[in-house]
Chains A and B, each alone.
Chain A
Amino acid sequence: MPHDPAVKIIKKQSWGDYHLFRFETPALAAGAEPGQFLMVRVSDTPFPLLRRPISLHAKEKNSLEIFFQVAGQGTALLAQKKEGETLDILGPFGKRFIPDTNALPTPAVLVGGGRGIAPLYFLAMELNKLGARVKVLYGGKSRTDLPVREKFEKAGLDIVCSTDDGSFGHHGFVTGLLESEIRRQEPAILYVCGPDPMMKKTAEIAAARRIPARISLESMMGCGFGACWGCVKRIRRDEGGEWRKICEDGPVFWADKIIWEEKE
């Protein structure tokens, strides 16, 4: 769990609200696994105060990538950083996507919505390397909301897209794509990251078809490393549930362990 106070941005790409940084950071890259995240300082001053959690998007030897969407003040400041500038980063934290089972489940279907696609690139590359068959389903609002589609294609990954407005690919939600994919060929496992309603719907589909699913949850984080108890979600335990820390026990959980909140 290292701390690198001066991680240099060696490459930056931007598409509207979406940005990608590549870092050269052997300290943080060592042992980093798909599903884990970094805690990034977005300002040198106490405004904003807290670090922001951002998933690992890609890894190559000594370099890491993050891919993020501007969601408020903190991510807007982050987006202003330029190539050659440095960032203060802690991590990586959290549990990995790939389950600790003896045999690697295959075929795997990866379902990502919006910025939720971020961790799925690293995961797809890793699964590919490990020998799993991988299919990626990527949903966005419209054609311009799918900035990393080509990156998956260039890496030779099988990817299908959906847009809410029908301007590209399947017209509708990515969960619609998932339902037709399951009819075509039943996956051995789902890996999911996206907005809450999409993850919840995916969990329902997975439960109905009895397909194991790994879901990456989000929540407000005070620290990222288990010290504040601020990031909890309801996780099943025995007959009931308990508040478990996303940063330490997650962010990835088995779908059937997640108790979704009643209120949206």
Chain B
Amino acid sequence: MTPDLTADLGFLKLRNPVLTASGTFGYGLEFEPFMDLSKIGGIVVKGLYYGPREGNPPPRLVETTGGLINAIGLQGVGVEKFAAEVLPKLRQIDTAVFVNVCGASDDEYLKAIEFLNAQEGIAAYELNISCPNVKKNGLCPALGPDPTYALVKQAKAASRRPVIAKLSPNVTDIVEIAKAAEEAGADGLSLINTLLAMAVDIETRRPKLANIFGGLSGPAIKPIALRMTYQVASAVRVPVIGMGGIMTGADAIEYLIVGARAVQVGTANFIDPAAAARIAGEMKDFCEHKGIARIADLVGTLKTD
């Protein structure tokens, strides 16, 4: 018997629990040569501001043990060009499209949402309140419950679509922030964004990134991301989407067990551009092997007694 892989986000049913993480999957089309995009639950496109963005000077990337530090600075085309050039093509593909929305100010987030509201072919907005690479010292709304509440509340009011708030791990108590987002009306939470990090060249004594700081992703962050996903999923009612260092189906299953209803695959896409489809396949194999009829039955089944 083939297991039922659907994931229920409340506002949306996904074919399977695997989405691609924002910023690691381009605008989606880059991956068409490698993977059938209708094999995965959906895609989250690269963070979009209302207008085009320059991004940070290079070097923007450095590899560290089991991870990758990036300081891209959200270079991108802006919502208008995205709607004109990318969205029509994405509409031809049978997959859920999430748009990761960014802004340098609350107003800019709202401007982007208002523009996107008028476009078809978007399943939900993922509010990127947690990018560490845009302001100095990794500042972003997701660092405090008050700015999180204020922004999510306004975004909900402006949006005609479900809004997912993407949380930052660079906080003392992520549960406090998660609750603020839920209270403000978020339809779901996704976590984690990257961890503020740095690397140094000991020959030149210079930082290895032009931006000095960047965001760490990849297998190195999985234990932390999993812990935070567990804490948040245990504390809120809205659906939680977990991510951080997922490379295999087994990694993804861990996230479901601690309470995530779906997962996002990020850095793994760079190494294996078919990673998301492969991971969905591995999750299916796991269910078959274990005789699990519905993958959703795994969600939140961590045994701690």
Contacts and interface: CB of A to CB of B under 8 A. Distances in A.
Interface in B65-83: 65-68, 70, 72, 75-76
Given A49-B218, A49-B219, A50-B63, A230 B72 contact: yes
A46 B62 contact: no
B247 interface: yes
Interface in A209-264: 219-223, 225-234, 242-243, 261
A231 B56 CA distance: 11
Interface of B: 23-26, 30-31, 33-34, 46, 54-55, 57-63, 65-68, 70, 72, 75-76, 218-219, 247, 267, 269-271, 273-274
Contacts of B46: 229
A219 B61 CA distance: 9
Contacts of B70: 222, 228, 230
A76 interface: no
Is chain B's binding surface mostly helix, strand, loop or mixed? loop
A3 B273 CA distance: 9
B66 A47 contact: yes
21 contacts: A1-B33, A3-B34, A41-B271, A46-B219, A46-B247, A46-B271, A47-B65, A49-B63, A49-B267, A51-B270, A90-B273, A222-B61, A223-B273, A227-B269, A228-B24, A229-B46, A231-B61, A233-B58, A234-B57, A242-B54, A243-B58
Given A3-B273, A49-B267, A228 B66 contact: no
Is chain A's binding surface mostly helix, strand, loop or mixed? loop
A220 B67 contact: no
B68 A222 contact: yes
Contacts of B247: 46
Contacts of B269: 223, 227
A48 interface: yes
Contacts of A226: 26, 30
B55 A228 contact: no
Contact of A227 (B54, B61, B270, B274): B270
Nearest to B72: A229
